[in-house]
Amino acid sequence: MHLGDLISAYLDSQVDASERTLVEAHLAGCEECRSELAAATVGRKRVRELPLLEPPPGALRPPADVVPLRSARRRSLVAAAAMATLVVGVGFSVSAERAVPLRLDAVVDQHVARASVDPGLNVLQVQAVVNR
């Protein structure tokens, strides 16, 4: 079973909560659907990045006085995400000795922490720690 056109509906946020869960669960385990997601993403992106053109003068001949044109592009706003419950536990200190086994999650954390010092898009940097 593959996702098919549910993929585009998902990209356009035209799915309900249960469909969204289904899509995300399936994508995690299906290479073919991920490729199809990537292809649909590009097809969607290329059209959405087309420039907004100004109509040439006279293209929208009004019946009365000339009125200025404004963009009608709408944006759907999402409600605020629920805040994750903060649980404070015991922090742990990490030995810096070379004998300590390397943990990939700790390595990525340290890279991302340092990277966040410099000007950059944290929305991209932070993605490195998810799924690490």
Partner 1 sequence: MIFALTLTLMTLLGTLPAPDLVDDLDDAADAEFVGRQLVVCWGADGVVAHVTDIEQSGGMTMVTGPDGSFVIGEGKMIEQWAGGVRYLEMAPSSDWRLWDGYRVQEGLAGVADPAGSRAIEIRQGEALRARFVLDGATATPLTTEIYNGQGSLYRYSTMLEVGPRQGDTMLDMDDMPEPDHRDHAVAEEVPQAAGHYWAADSYSAPGGVQVFFTDGLFRFSIFEVNRKSDGGGLNDAPAAEIGRHGGYHRLYTPGAVSVFWRTADRAYVLVGDLPPDHLESVLSDLPPPGRTNVLKRAWRWAFG
Partner 2 sequence: MASNEAVPTWEQVANDYGRTIYNFAYRLTGNRDDASDLSQEVLLRVRRGLANYQPGSFEGWLWRITRNAFLDEVRKKKRRPTAELPDEDRSLIATTPTPEDVLSQTRLSSDVQEALLALPYEFREAVVMCDVVGLSYQEIAEAVEVPVGTVRSRIHRGRLLLREALEVRP
Task: Give me the residues that bind partner 2 (CB under 8 A), please.
Answer: 4-9, 12, 14, 36, 39-40, 42-44, 46-56, 58-64, 67-74
For partner 1, the closer of residues 64 and 86 by Cβ is: 86
Among partner 2, partner 1, none, residue 8 binds (CB under 5-8 Å by kind): partner 2
For partner 1, the closer of residues 60 and 126 by Cβ is: 126
130 is an interface residue for partner 1 by CB under 8 A: yes
Among partner 1, partner 2, none, residue 100 binds (CB under 5-8 Å by kind): partner 1
Q: Are 10 and 20 in contact (CB under 8 A)?
A: yes
The position carrying tokens 């898009």 is 121
Q: Which residues contact 9 (CB under 8 A, 6 or more apart)?
A: 15, 19
In terms of DSSP H, where are the helices of the chain?
6-11, 17-29, 31-48, 104-115, 122-125
**Nearest distance from C-beta of residue 1 to partner 1, angstroms:** 19
| Interacting residue with partner 1 among 1, 17, 64, 90 (CB under 8 A) | 90
Q: Are 8 and 40 in contact (CB under 8 A)?
A: yes
Among partner 1, partner 2, none, residue 95 binds (CB under 5-8 Å by kind): partner 1
104 is an interface residue for partner 1 by CB under 8 A: yes
Could you give the C-alpha distances from 44 to 15, 23, 27, 38, 106, in angstroms and in order? 17, 18, 18, 10, 36
